[in-house]
Structures are given as structure tokens and as C-alpha cells.
Chain A
Amino acid sequence: MRRPQASRRGVRHVYLFDMKTLAPDEHAAVRRILADLKGRPGPLLEVLHAIQAELGFVPEEAVPVVAEGLNLSRAEVHGVVTFYHYFRHHRPGVHTVSICQAEACQSMGAAALTAHAKRSLGIGFHQSTPNGRFTLEPIYCLGNCACSPAVMIDGELHGRVTPERFDELIAQGSVKS
């Protein structure tokens, strides 16, 4: 029980004893976030949101730092990080593209749009393009159900997205930083 288990893509490490550590600037960011938020009631989700907002994901190396900062066990923090779909475990691409998979969007062709997106970007869900530009994610309802199918790119919502419109949006994201 000394080495981290080998992890396949999309499967979490089990935290054992040989923890990798955060880069110094990441470590400083996590410590600052903890100092800001730890006095608030029930702060763990807020802390994880702040870490993801700053670093783009919640690195597993942050777990022991957060656990110590909030006086929780690593298991508790790990349990929360992995419970919620929103928290990512890997550094995402420059742009995150989320395609709604829920019923309203299905009724307007979300399955075909998703197949097109996967083909067009050459990746599946929870994967990033080799150039690191795009990460593709499924999402379950964006509240845009009268304008289906819906896509969110970096927090911007798009409605009635056809495959052609999808390609235009991706082309814009390919030139924008």
C-alpha cells in the first residue's frame, strides 16, 4: 500500500501515502482560498469552486491541502470532489464545450448534434483535443429547453444549434485565445 494505484483515464487515483505535491504557485493559491473561505459555514464546496475557478480543475494534490486547512479527513474531501460532476480532475482544454443531453434537447436532435461534435472534434466526452484547444463534456440541462438543442461554450449559452452552427462556433473558438 505504498504506491498510488495505476489510474486509467477518467478513473480517480486512490489517495495513499506517496502524495504528489502541488506546484508552488498552485499551492499558494489553494492556501489563499482556504484562508479566505474557511471561516464560512460549510465551506468545502465553496473552496472547491474557488480552486476550480482559479486553476481550471481540482488537482488531486490539492486534496490533502484542503483537508488539512478545513480540519477534515482526506477521505471526506475526496468523497466530495468525486461526488459532484462539475469538479474536474484533469486540466481542461482552452475552451470547454458542453452539449446538453437531456430530454428537451433530445427531442430536437441532440443525439445527432453530439455525434457530429464528436466526429468534428475527433474526441469523445470527457476528452480534450490533442492540441489542447477543446474539451468536450455532456451536460444535463442548461435551462434553454425552448431553444433546443443547447450548447454552452466557456459559460456562454447557444440555442437551436445545428451542426453547421456548431462548426462556426468551434471555428471562432479556434482563433480566439
Chain B
Amino acid sequence: MTTTVYVPKDASALSLGADAVAAAIIAEARRRAVAVNVVRNGSRGAFWLEPMVEVALTSGRVAYGPVQPKDVPGLFEARFLTGAAHALALGPTEEIPWFKGQQRLTFARVGIVDPTSVADYVRHGGYQGLGKALAMEPAAIVAAVTASGLRGRGGAAFPTGIKWKTVHDQRAAQKYVTCNADEGDSGTFADRMLMEGDPLTLIEGMSIAGIAVGATQGYIYLRAEYPHAHRALNTAIAAAYQAGYLGEDVAGSGKRFDLEVRLGAGAYICGEETSMLESLEGKRGEVRVRPPLPAIKGLFGQPTIVNNVITHASVPWIMANGAQAYADYGMGKSRGTLPIQLAGNIRRGGLVERAFGLTLRELLYDYGAGSASGRPIRTIQIGGPLGAYVPPAHFETAVDYEALAGVGALLGHGGIVVFDETVDMARMARYAMEFCAVESCGKCTPCRIGSTRGVEVIDRILAGEDGERNLKLLEDLCETMVQGSLCGLGGMAPFPVQSALKHFREDFRAPGK
């Protein structure tokens, strides 16, 4: 009898040695003349347990981890293929507490399916959403997305249904569906995990969007820093074409939808939607002035949907299970679930998908188990390099767009970077300005010049030059950038600086002062 063993091919798992573990399992099985079928799945997202190996039993999967190649002979010796005990045994995967309380809707199949196989995808409920959508009027699909309360998961949290309706209502010879997969925020990896672990969900979601608004061409704009996701997407797109889910006759509906991946080239600004469209057109990624909105004049001047990976990938679940079922999760105006990423100096880092409403403290201590270094957590940065630094006094805040805004923070793409007490907040503030200076597209003055001046002013403060006056100047500069910048880069880069000044002002003193 052949036993199926899962070894993740997720880039993070690979970065911890998953390929060598897979090779060791195959070699050891051959040596022992045991029949093993190694499937390379995505990661379940508990990176503190990676490389996590799972064995498929008739009762379900059991997990072992973190596994290194040297552990493999011992695992065979202990008969891990029967789910037997071993020092690395974690028991049935679904019963591991870290996973058990999660509410995985968008990530339901990540780490479960073989990301290269359409048949496996369908076996696990894939393409049910598309099937339902194809039986509906396009306007009804848009109405369902609106009713679900889904908001853009890239960070701006704009209601997805409204964006879709705008594109739906345009009359144009050609419309486009684009996916913003330029996941450049530090502390975020949900897009990457989904594209590597369950790319067909993204493909299905974009296909539904195309059917809903009458677009026949889709583009995934993927950052160049993600070569593993690039390969996974291309493999899955080819498989979807092969199986008749992409192309001129999507699932036998007579409707056309084509999809391809375009690579970015290391520009953070291209995560801003109009800059991304410029880049997709092969130009410098300079931000466009709005209006017109991309939904009216987007890619190549045509009506265009621009949604983040997780937004698109949430739609198949909504269509398959109903808008109300999705809206039943969450709190206030934040409906559904959010894949939250725990990163940086955290003991149990990884991906936690839960309904909106759990607190930061639950995430940091119940899931994350505190800092990796064992020192007290001094601050967290939520929402990437443009997100505010949040002090422990605010850790009771719920993960909810409005609740976080209430304490001067933002949720962004749901990444949380943890810092212990050794962090120097003046240095982090300087970094925020420096990053903005490096990544500014240069189109507007507050961002282009302001960020460079910001670095200089912080340097003067730290050198002890006229501290109070320069702190005031820094605050003025931040205000100018927030109010005067054309897009979120210059408009939000001051947030980490302002929050550091507000909560950690003691760090902005010259040494010895």
C-alpha cells in the first residue's frame, strides 16, 4: 500500500530546508522498499513548525515537525507512516490548538491540496463558486459580493462590490480584471502563501470577477521577489487552461476569460493601484492622478477591476457558501475573515485566519506566544512600512478597520511585525522616511522631497542639534506629507514616524542627553 506524505513546497518551508526533507523521505523509503507518495503541498502557515511533514491516514492527517533531514531515518524507524509516536509528533493536524480555533475560509485549502492539480482542487470544493456564478446574471454576482460586505484586503478596505458595480456598469469593448500581487509590505506573506499553496482559488476568483463585469482578460501583477509564487501560478494557470477553466469557453459556459502573470521589477510603489496599472502597461510606475478611477479608465484606458490577491481569493467561498454566510463572520463594518500574519520577533509566527474582532493581545500571546527573543514586546507595527507603531497599551484593540483607526493605527494587509524592548524607535522612524525616499515614484513634491528632508531632520535630532525645534519641524513635515501627497506612499509614510514620536518620544534624544 502506498502512503501519501505531504512536505510543503511553500517558499518559507523551503527556506527552512523542506526540499532536503522531501528528498530524505524519498531516499529512505526507497532504501526500506516502502511505497511512499510525496505530495508537495502549500504551508498550513505555522512557520514555527516548518518543515512540517504530514502523513495521510484513513482517519485524517497527522503531523510531525519541525523535521530536518537527519530526523527522517528515526521517523521511519518509529513507523511514522502509521501515525506512530515520535519526539516530533504533533498528532492530528486539525487538532493542533494553533490551527483548531482558526476560521479558515479563504485559506481553507492552503496546505491541504496539491497546488498543481485541478482534480484535487475540485475534490476539495474548488470551482463550486464559479459554477454558481455561471448560473447567475452578472448583476446578481456583483450584488452577492456587495452583500457579503467584503472590503479590499490589500489595505484600503474599499467595498469590493461597489468597485465591481462601477466596472459592470461601464460600456466598453474591452474590460480588464487585474490582481495586485505586489505584496511589498514587510510582515506580510498571505498573498504569497495563497499563490503558492492554492493558486487555483485566485484563478477561480478572478474568473468570477471577469464573468461578473464582462471582462475577458485578466492580469496578475506579481512582484519579482516571489519566484516561487511565479512558478506556482504559471503551473496552475496552465493546468486550468488544460482543464477548460480558462480560455474561450470557461467551464463550458461559452464565456471567455484569459489570464496571465506579469512580473513587477522591485518597485514598492507599484502596490499602489494606479502605479501598478502604469507598470502593467510597461511604463514607469508613476502614480496617476484620480479621477478618473481605474474602474472607469484603468488598464490601457479601459474599465478595470484592481483587487488584491486575498480579495479575489475570498470570492469563490462567498459564491459557494452565500454572501450572508460570509457576512455572518466579523464585527461592525469589517465582515468576514482576515488572514493575519504574525511576523518578526515572535515565537510562533505564521498565518492566522480569523473573523474580524479578536484582539491584538490574543494574536500576540495566545497564538504568537510572545517574542522570539523572550524579551518583553515593546511595540508592533501593523500594516507594513506605512503602518503605525502600536504600544502595549493598545493591545486590547480588536482587529477591525474602524477600531484600529480609533487608536491611530491601520490594519492594511493584516501583517503584524513584532519588536522586543531592544528596538530603537528613532531608528525605525528614520527607516520609514528612508524607505519612502528610496521608493518614492517622484511625481509629487511632498513625498519626493519630504522623505529625504525627513531623514535629515531625524539625523539632526539624533545628533543633538536643536532637538526641540527639529522635533517640531519633523512634526510639521509629517503633516505636510500626509496632507499634500498624491498617494498613500507619501501620505502614510509619516504614520510610523508620528506614532513613534507620540508613544516613544524618549528614543528621540541624542545619546547622553
- Chain A residues packing against B (C-beta within 8 Å): 41-46, 48-49, 76, 79-80, 83-87, 102-108, 139-148, 150, 152, 155-160
Contacts and interface: CB of A to CB of B under 8 A. Distances in A.
B428 interface: yes
Interface stretch (B68-76, B260-268, B319-327): B260-268
Contact of A147 (B16, B225, B415, B423): B16
Contacts of A106: 428, 431
Contact of B418 (A84, A107, A141, A157): A107
Nearest to A52: B265
A143 B265 contact: no
A143 B350 contact: no
Nearest to A161: B15
Interface stretch (B98-106, B124-132, B185-193): B185-193
Interface stretch (B149-157, B247-255, B279-287, B394-402): B279-287
Given A84-B266, A103-B344, A147-B16, A142 B281 contact: no
A124 to B, nearest CB: 16
A146 B265 contact: no
Given A108-B345, A146-B12, A146-B350, A103 B187 contact: yes
Given A45-B265, A139-B225, A146-B350, A159 B12 contact: yes
B227 interface: yes
B228 interface: yes
A30 to B, nearest CB: 16
A46 to B, nearest CB: 7
Interface of B: 11-12, 14-16, 47-48, 50, 183-189, 191-192, 224-228, 262-268, 279-286, 300, 341-346, 349-350, 372, 381, 385, 415, 417-420, 423, 428, 431, 435, 438-439, 441
Contacts of B225: 139, 141-143, 152
Contacts, number: 152
Contact of A44 (B263, B266, B283): B283
B33 to A, nearest CB: 32
A85 B423 contact: no
Contacts of A146: 12, 47-48, 189, 341-343, 346, 349-350
A83 B431 CA distance: 21
Nearest to B225: A142
A49 B344 contact: no
Contacts of B381: 103
B431 A103 contact: yes
Contact of A107 (B11, B15, B16, B420): B420
A145 B228 CA distance: 15
Contact of B344 (A85, A145, A159): A145
A45 B263 contact: yes
27 contacts: A42-B281, A45-B264, A46-B263, A48-B265, A80-B283, A84-B264, A84-B265, A84-B267, A85-B267, A86-B224, A102-B187, A103-B385, A104-B186, A104-B187, A104-B417, A106-B431, A107-B344, A107-B419, A143-B191, A144-B189, A146-B342, A148-B343, A150-B15, A157-B11, A157-B12, A159-B12, A159-B15
A103 B267 contact: no
Given A45-B282, A143-B225, A146-B349, A104 B343 contact: yes
Contacts of B284: 79-80, 83
Contacts of A41: 281, 300
B47 A143 contact: no
Given A103-B344, A144-B15, A146-B48, 19 more contacts: A45-B279, A79-B284, A83-B267, A86-B264, A86-B267, A87-B266, A104-B186, A107-B423, A108-B372, A140-B266, A140-B268, A142-B11, A143-B226, A145-B341, A146-B349, A148-B343, A150-B15, A157-B15, A157-B228
A142 to B, nearest CB: 6
Contacts of A156: 14
Nearest to A145: B343
B349 A145 contact: yes
A83 B341 CA distance: 30
B502 to A, nearest CB: 18
Contacts of B428: 103, 106
A85 B345 contact: no
Contacts of A86: 224, 264-267
Contact of A108 (B189, B280, B344): B344
Contacts of A87: 265-266
A144 B265 contact: no
B300 A145 contact: no
Given A45-B263, A107-B419, A143 B14 contact: no
Nearest to A76: B283
Contact of B16 (A49, A85, A105, A159): A159
A103 B435 CA distance: 10
Contact of A144 (B11, B286, B300): B11
Q: Which of A85, A107, A150, A158 has the most CB of B within 10 A?
A: A107
B52 to A, nearest CB: 13
Contacts of A159: 12, 15-16
Contact of A105 (B186, B267, B300, B372): B186
A143 B266 CA distance: 13
A139 B268 CA distance: 11
Nearest to A105: B186
Query: Which 6 interchain pairs have the tightest Cβ spacing?
Result: A146-B349, A102-B186, A86-B266, A44-B282, A159-B15, A84-B265
